[in-house]
A and B are shown apart, each in its own frame.
Chain A
Amino acid sequence: MFEPFFLFALAAGIGLSLVAGPLGCFIVWRRLAYFGDTLSHAALLGVAMGLLLNVNITLAVFVVSACVSVSLLFLQSRVGLSSDAILGLLSHSALALGLVVLSLMVWVRTDVMGLLFGDILSVNRTDLVLIWVGGAVLVGLLYWIWSPLFAGTVSRDLADAEGMAPDRAQFVFMMLMACVIAMAIKIVGVLLITALLIIPPATARRFSSGPEAMAVAAALIGAVSVVTGLFGSLIWDTPSGPSIVVAAACLFLFGQIVASVKSKLSA
């Protein structure tokens, strides 16, 4: 019925959104939207380094993203600057460095559009295994740190005073973020992974009464965005990555309208 590449794309996108949804909830709750941007900018540097050193791109992106995360934690405790200023510093430095490194490699013709939006239709069997096995590990780790991470999100002091080790949970969370960015770069690209991390949780917020419910809802909404986006791109022959994000944004709008109508009816 469908070409295998389309089914592969569906499976990859759904797998990724099941991880991105719950992680994205913490991005929204902790007001870290700019952290996602910073990591995706760092990912561009990761791609450049991977090409330069001829190592696996996913691995290179993970290493660079993890370094940027650790730098953020380090600078937060040492430099008298606010978090958003440090994120701006890291974000722009990493992006600029990535572009400089790419321009130095005259033998590499990089498709910048490809890096920005990825190519979900070129996912192969190995990618699929990486996404589903890696994704299962990431969700498992998130489940493991869920309580201290959530307690630390509500109040770092409270969690710390009552022995929850919130800083360790935050460190693990940042490593998970670096992993998911590295995995996602090929699928939705550098810029659009941020959208997949933020839009489904934002949609889920109005329909959730608890944090766990919001995480599950965000995962499902992300998966629905992937399916509708991909079918939309098939029907109207539009680029697949951006189509997924457009679908996610449409679901958000639709959700807002439904929630408003519902609250008007019950009032």
Chain B
Amino acid sequence: MSLPDITAPRVVDAAPLIALAAAGYRSGDRWLVEGVDLTVAPGEIVTLIGPNGSGKSTTARMALGLLKPSSGMAKQRSGLVVGYVPQKLTIDWTVPLSVERFMHLTGRLDADALDKALEATGALALKKAQVGHLSGGEFQRVMLARAIARKPDLLVLDEPVQGVDLAGEIALYDLIQRLREEMGCGVLLISHDLHVVMAATDRVICLNGHVCCSGTPGAVVSTPAYQSLFGSRAQETLAVYQHHHDHTHLPDGSIAHGEHDHAGHDHNGDPKAARLNESSTPRV
């Protein structure tokens, strides 16, 4: 794959790896998320942000084909190689599993690629360790290493830096950016932070049950206050996302009436009524 020119404004000419069009997902009679338009092209980094329960993971799961959209549609390029880091993965203690074996979980890797990926995420020393004995941050590094060792076309990272300290977070974000440049893979990243995102992000999509706003992130302001907060290295890696909402959410997540332009999407009825009725059926 050719190296995309990162200095020029990114021109997306290739067909998207994944595409969601007006996609929504309903559990029971509650819409978890609706009206999402989203594409990720090769070499593009798209970051999803939003409060808890705003449908970030649901959106990623629809994009991956794990959930079938209740409305709209989801498309994946055929033959797509995916590297996925799920938000939560608990390995049952009854399963004996070393980091090395875990790396081979969804396909055999050659030994060299395996070591390189572990080294890139700073987890090479853990190669022989049992997965169940790792700390949260260590396991995140191993999961990321496993995802990138597959040489994927698309990386889907659901809060990949949770439990990793800030210095490690910046290093991992640097790594993701480098991977995008070296491998030209598309990245769909879910961020746990509402305001601070990767500087290399091409597009930020803010969700709260629907797309609230989207845009490009601005650079972290190089004032001493920001530097002391994020460190001087952070300037190149982290960015601040300015939200430009055209509506506000009530405490229950519903949209305050009269403030929101509904031209962009359809809520299938009164959004407040739909959201107040939150008795969803538990899934097995």
Contacts and interface: CB of A to CB of B under 8 A. Distances in A.
Contacts of A227: none
A119 to B, nearest CB: 32
A214 B96 contact: yes
Given A76-B284, A77-B284, A209-B130, A158 B95 contact: no
Interface stretch (A40-48, A60-68, A79-87, A122-130): A79-87
Interface stretch (A2-10, A149-157, A230-238, A251-259): A149-157
B106 A164 contact: yes
B145 to A, nearest CB: 14
Nearest to B100: A210
Interface residues of B, number: 29
Interface string B189-212: 000000000000000000000000
B89 A158 contact: yes
A210 B97 contact: yes
A214 B94 CA distance: 10
A29 interface: yes
20 contacts: A77-B284, A82-B282, A82-B284, A153-B95, A154-B102, A157-B86, A158-B89, A160-B66, A161-B64, A161-B66, A161-B82, A161-B86, A162-B81, A162-B84, A162-B150, A163-B82, A205-B96, A209-B96, A210-B98, A211-B96
A147 B64 CA distance: 20
Contacts of A163: 81-82, 106
B94 A162 contact: no
B101 interface: yes
Interface of B: 61, 64-66, 81-84, 86, 89, 91-92, 94-98, 101-102, 105-107, 130, 150, 156, 281-284
Contact of A211 (B65, B83, B101): B101
Contacts, number: 80
A86 B98 contact: no
Contacts of B94: 28-29, 31, 205
Among all A-B residue pairs, the 9 with the closest Cβ atoms: A161-B84, A162-B106, A80-B281, A161-B64, A76-B284, A208-B96, A29-B95, A151-B105, A210-B101
A95 B137 CA distance: 48
B65 A161 contact: yes
Given A161-B66, A162-B82, A163-B82, A81 B284 contact: yes
Chain B contact residues: over half helix, strand or loop, or mixed? Answer: loop
B4 to A, nearest CB: 24
> Which one of A83, A150, A164 has the greatest number of beta carbons of chain B within 10 Å?
A150
Given A153-B95, A162-B107, 10 more contacts: A80-B284, A86-B284, A158-B106, A159-B106, A163-B81, A163-B106, A209-B98, A210-B101, A211-B97, A213-B96
Interface of A: 28-29, 31, 76-77, 79-83, 86, 147, 150-151, 153-155, 157-164, 205, 208-211, 213-214
> Which one of B61, B94, B95, B283 has the greatest number of beta carbons of chain A within 10 Å?
B95
> Which one of A77, A83, A163, A211 has the greatest number of beta carbons of chain B within 10 Å?
A163
A139 to B, nearest CB: 20
Contacts of B96: 205, 208-211, 213-214
Contacts of A76: 284
A157 B84 contact: yes
A77 B283 CA distance: 8
A161 B89 CA distance: 14
A187 B104 CA distance: 37
Contacts of A159: 105-106
Contacts of A77: 284
Contacts of A154: 89, 91, 95, 97, 102, 105
A132 B245 CA distance: 68
A161 B156 contact: yes
Contacts of B283: 80
B95 to A, nearest CB: 5
Contacts of B101: 210-211
A147 B284 CA distance: 24
B188 to A, nearest CB: 11
